[in-house]
Amino acid sequence: MNLCFCSKEEELHANYWNNKAKQALHTAMNVQPNTQQAKNLILFLGDGMGIPTVTAARILKGQLAGKSGEEHSLNMDTFPHLALSKTYNVNQQMPDSAGTATAYLCGVKANYGTLGVTAATPRGNCSATRGNEVYSILHRAKNAGKSVGIVTTTRVQHASPAASYAHSADRGWYTDADLPREAVENGCQDIAYQLVYNTEIDVILGGGRQYMYPKTAADPEYPDTTGDRLDGKNLAAEWLSKRKGAQFVWNKKKFDAIDPASTDFLMGLFEPKDCRYELERDPSMDPSLTEMTEKAIRILSRNPKGFFLFVEDKGRIDHAHHGSKAKKAMYETVEFDRAIGRAAELTSELDTLTVVTADHSHVFAFGGNSPRGNSVTGVSSKIADDNKHFTTAVYGNGPGFLMVNGSRPDVNSSITSGNDYRQQSPVPLDSETHGIEDVAIFAKGPMSHLFHGVQEQNYIAHVLAYAACIDPYEECRLPPPNHAGSIRPSLLLLLLSLLPLPVSFTV
């Protein structure tokens, strides 16, 4: 990666910064709330994408483009409305992806490890599920006549997407083989079963084949791997048989052959469990998150009543952070942002509310002395008190703890730039932990101005429902979606910001 370690000439002068601020001010003064009803809803979820991860990914994206990086912008950075989300679960200060998903998808905060149920359901207690189910914005959008989809490159039964369709006292009940005796005796169904038999979902793209097939069935890509199910069900085949115009695919070739114009339902499961990290993905076998997002939008947007789409970043931002592998987490975030940009090209801010947020953060920090343009996987220009180098990206705990002869090993940029390098941490754990701090909410489109200030995480689902006038806000009385105009407001504001301004500042 070629990096620029020096300032641009124009940055040395006050006029550069004054003019840059004037343009930003002019753009801000021209932002007008869109109070129309939203036809389409897109929720992008960066699993584990705390604010330090956003910053590091922004710099990485700029450096990949041959710039120093700090001055670069992510697609999500351009969204006009911003808020903070409080991520705690009802019974836990440090949240997990299941309780948080229930909040931002169903509008109700829940217990750690539970999906689609209120906090009256303790984790692992199947019998407490009855009567405590809560329903997601995806489910309510489907009931309102919209098409709905989920895109992730974790397993589609993973906590984040599962809260859109499942009600489970434990996020780990992926198949019937995972159900404890109490759950079986009380009639609880596993998450994969609920994917097929709960809410009808038009597009399902991600990993998770293993939970759909019986133990007697070999995986189509890895013959030595079999399914997990004990009940003998082939849930992929059952899903396919119950829907006209449906397609099931498991590799890139078949995915590319899908014609959105003639496909009403699509399920694509590209790995037995989670899909591969972006740095390890085989583009001939597995589609990227951006490619899956585009395919989903092209299929769902055929519905004249609109659609709801949930896109999770792979959940691999989260997994990489748990492994203290910052480089993988940052590359996942860059690909996530690329999917956000492609969705913007395929939709209009006039009738589509797009929200980008995270379920929780991690104990990932990004700092230390470093010159402009320093690699995000690089080392500080300062030597630590033990006379050794350290990386600017570090973790508060995790598997990166390492002592050699009573002290931590020295590092250099050739070591830390490796794809599997683990950043150092002071507290030894086999898996780095989630963070507790607030995460960001970025929003654009109809009613996006409602995202402001510091909010409880469950507020997200309520704004989505209100903007689209769906349950429980059918009587929202918002004007119908505005489809007029051939130029998007964001582009218009950008063009206006480039015009000469009639004001001047004394410097």
Catalytic positions, written as ranges = 97
CA distance linking residue 475 with residue 491, whole number of Å: 32
The number of beta carbons lying within 10 Å of the beta carbon of residue 197 is 14
Which residues have C-beta within 8 Å of that of residue 453, sequence separation ≥ 6? Answer: 83, 84
Which of 122, 206, 201, 197 is CA-nearest to residue 159? 206
E strand spans, 161-314: 203-207, 246-249, 265-269, 307-312
Give the helix/strand (H/E) hosting 149. Answer: strand 147-155
Q: Which residues pair with 236 in a beta bridge?
A: none
Which pairs from 277-283 meet CB under 8 Å and 24+ separation?
277/314, 277/316, 277/319, 277/320, 277/328, 277/331, 277/332, 278/314, 278/316, 278/328, 278/331, 278/332, 278/334, 278/335, 279/327, 279/328, 279/331, 279/419, 280/419, 283/252
Structure tokens at 157: 């039964």
CA distance linking residue 270 with residue 250, whole number of Å: 5
CA distance linking residue 193 with residue 266, whole number of Å: 17
**Amino acid in the structure at residue 396:** G
> Does residue 472 have a cis peptide bond before it, meaning omega lies within 30 degrees of 0?
yes
Which of 226, 298, 292 is CA-nearest to residue 260? 298
Strands 265-269 and 203-207: parallel
Residue with tokens 């009573």: 406
Give me the count of residues in the chain.
Answer: 507
Phi/psi for 379 (5° steps) reads -105, 160
Structure tokens at 4: 């620029």
